[in-house]
Structure 1
């Protein structure tokens, strides 16, 4: 069984993201697509960005020693306050925040009267029995 739960959350996100990319490809060209970032004007450029960031993130996670999970990341937030968080807290936040966006995509799909991608963690074979 995979006991690297941080990695598992990212694996989950990547699997669901791939399903969403497949889902987006099925939408007919007549349906409106809105992307706010100038560099990512089409689905292919978004998929390429996702692939690039997945490679970098996976490399980081695979080379991160679990003993460093309790290292502290200090930064300044949007309000100008100095904040400190454990590495593991930041990594888990990133993974869980993507789940939030998966939910947003599900709402968008339903607004288009389309069946959303299942976000079910169970059955993705992330944990081998």
Structure 2
């Protein structure tokens, strides 16, 4: 499962770099079929991953205000900061009980850690698909979603 987080992080970094190549108005244009815009979708992906992983750790949710991240550079920074905490969690907890039930503060139900991790992975993949469609609407080739032939960093590589 960790391999899929590594995949998501690499693809996210590629999308954030891709965003630097398109006009700013295309990043903030309200779009159909997703959460507002390309920019907001990338923020949403980062924020959701971070919140759910904090929930697994039974840490208090830290609300992240979208208004504090008005640029792609600020989203890149947010992604790195959140990922650093998530990487440390995975590095320190490689043998956690995936069947343990966790109840996030924003939910009325408990979920297994395994189900939460699956949800977080699929959530990002879902939104990456939306970004791919929007990229074509902008007239720019989307980032490849292929898992095959990627030279991915491992969680341990992020700790260096």
1:104 aligns with 2:130: yes
Whichever of the two has the greater Rg, that structure is 1
Please state whether the residue corresponding to 2:98 is helix, strand or coil. helix
Going from structure 1 to structure 2, the CA distance change for 1:49 and 1:75 (only over 3 Å counts) comes to: closer
List runs of 5+ in structure 1 lacking aligned partners: 1-5
Q: Could you say if the C-alpha distance between residues 21 and 75 of structure 1 is closer, same or farther in structure 2, counting changes exceeding 3 Å?
A: closer
Runs of 5+ unmatched residues, structure 2? 29-38, 41-65, 153-160
By relative contact order (CA 8 Å, sep 6+), the higher-ranking structure is 1
CA distance in 2, matches of 1:69, 1:56: 19
Give runs of ≥4 in structure 1 deviating > 3 Å. Answer: 75-78
Could you tell me which residue of structure 1 aligns to residue 54 of structure 2? none
- After TM superposition, the score normalised by the length of structure 1 is 0.80
CA RMSD after TM alignment: 2.1
Tell me whether 1:51 sits opposite 2:71 in the alignment: no
2:82 aligned with 1:87: no
- Check if 1:32 corresponds to 2:58: no
Match of 2:2 in 1: 7
Q: Which has the higher strand share?
A: 1
Deviation digits for residues 16-63 of structure 1 (CA, Å, limit 9, x no counterpart): 11111221111145x433145211110000000000111111111122
TM-score by length of 2: 0.66
